[in-house]
Amino acid sequence: MVLDGIMENANEKSASLSFVSSYQTCWSTNQSTGTCDLDNLNLRRQSSNPKETWLEAEIVVEGKSVAVNRSILSERSQFFRRLFNLRNDGKARYLLTDLVPHGKVGYEAFKDTLHFLYTGMIKESPPEVSTCVDDACAHFACPPAINYGIELMYASAAFQMKELVVLSEFRLLYMAGKAPVEDVIPILVAAVHCQLNMLHSYCIQRIAGSNLDNLCLEKELPDEVSREIKSLRVKSNQESEANIAEVDPMHAKIVRSIQKALDSDDVELLKLLLDVSNVTLDDAYALHYAAAYCSPKVFKAVLNMDLAGLNLKDARGRTVLHVAARRNEPEVMVTLLSKGACASETTSDGQTAVAICRRMTRRKDYIEASKQGQETNKDRLCIDVLEREMRRNSMSENLAMSSEGMDDDFQRKLDFLEEKVAFVRFFPSEARVAMEIAGADTATGLSALGQKGLSGNLKEIDLNETPSMQAKRRQLRLLTLLKIGIYILY
């Protein structure tokens, strides 16, 4: 009810906001859609006096140059007035990263901010950057929607656009009430940077009453904010189960030492701490920690110790793969899957790792096509890896393995599969993923992908092999090819 009231208030404010400008005749607006053509606006404004080149400026956003009109922006924003007054010597060029002190503002968010400066109206958020690729999501408060709202907030605050700051704050307030608590953290960080007291207070209360552990707060929030939340928890006696475990001082000290060893990439110190204490990797949720905060190299080292449960759930009901899914790091996921992590395992609220990945990924990043020989977008690759692993598991379960079943027709099917697999050499990212999940040697495997005979002749007979050994060899080679092939065929 409180959030509904906030949004009604925001809508009233939105309806009442508009600019009164002396440049009405210069606007080029599509009357049927109510949208404004910013490029035509700039050109028509400047065409009235072509000699006034000082009216032109450009701002570079994500490598793209956006033309702006100095006169209009100076009238509507004190920030731009001061900025443009510093340079009157011809056409000025600025980098957006130099103008916005906090956060990252993308091309689409900057264009929408300009639209508000020119027209006094808010455009509907572009779906390609404000919606995720989870078909079950309503997109009210998924991470891409939140991130886009934060981008607008950072831009409007940096450009001192009070009206847009107010509206952005109300939008983020609504999202903070609807989103999973871990997605409230970036909203709180934005509130701190932009000095938004109402948003700051609401996010603090939401996180303090949640089951987010203190470690997460320490790693992802400014120190003073983390301390404020901890203080509230102590006062309200709302400590989560993970934090109650810290009542044992010695256990807490050893766990913290393990985490510090991981932070410093010191695997040898980690082994020593495990040897001299009765705390295990599972007790410290060390693999969860490494998946969230350590480099892939350190994560692999910890995983290869074979001392941690791959599908162990932490106090919030997440496996290591679920934690890795939020990070969107393909190398970490591939390492886990190759060790036998279960891709179909769900969190306490029923989310699989692939559902988490899809909820974290913008449509723009997912549909972005990769060119032959170039690296694939990490977000897309993470989703593909998890989806194909689940399909592979399903196919493997239904695959009946027997030497008698490997007839000529079956061999022809394997030859076809082998030819398809060979195409992976054109895509290095997918090649590495496929070979690592298949458990094959990457260096030799990539060269073998372009050659015939990867699968070998499964009907070969070695006189030194027993029937059981022969069946096992055939099964292993077939599964290896299937593991690689599933990443190419689907």
* Domain assignments of the chain as residue spans, ordered by start: 2-208, 248-378, 400-489
Contact 116, 122 (CB under 8 A): yes
Distance CA 56, CA 69 (A): 5
Distance CA 476, CA 482 (A): 10
Distance CA 352, CA 319 (A): 10
Distance CA 405, CA 389 (A): 25
Fold of 2-208: Potassium Channel Kv1.1; Chain A (3.30.710)
Distance CA 334, CA 251 (A): 32
Phi-psi region of 120 (alpha: psi -120 to 50; beta: other; left: phi over 0): left
Distance CA 100, CA 156 (A): 9
Q: CA 32: distance to chain centroid?
A: 37
Q: CA 318: distance to chain centroid?
A: 17
Residue type, 44: R
Q: Report residue 458: phi and psi, to 5°.
A: -70, -5
Distance CA 41, CA 401 (A): 68
Distance CA 245, CA 252 (A): 8
CB burial class (10 A; 0-12, 13-18, 19+) of residue 433? buried
What's the average pLDDT block by block, 10 residues per block, for the chain (490 residues)?
Answer: 51 42 34 44 44 70 91 90 75 90 94 93 92 91 96 96 94 95 96 96 95 90 94 72 59 92 94 92 94 93 93 93 91 89 91 94 82 66 88 61 48 54 52 54 45 45 60 60 50
Selected from 3.40.190.290, 3.30.2010.10, 1.10.3720.10, 1.25.40.20, the CATH number assigned to the domain covering 248-378 reads 1.25.40.20
pTM of the model: 0.73
Q: Give residue 439's pLDDT.
A: 52
Distance CA 471, CA 422 (A): 25
CB burial class (10 A; 0-12, 13-18, 19+) of residue 200? buried
User: Which pairing describes strands 64-69 and 29-30: parallel, antiparallel, or unpaired?
Assistant: unpaired
Distance CA 212, CA 109 (A): 30
Distance CA 290, CA 265 (A): 10
Per DSSP, the three-state class of 92 is strand
Distance CA 360, CA 357 (A): 5
Q: Give residue 400's pLDDT.
A: 44
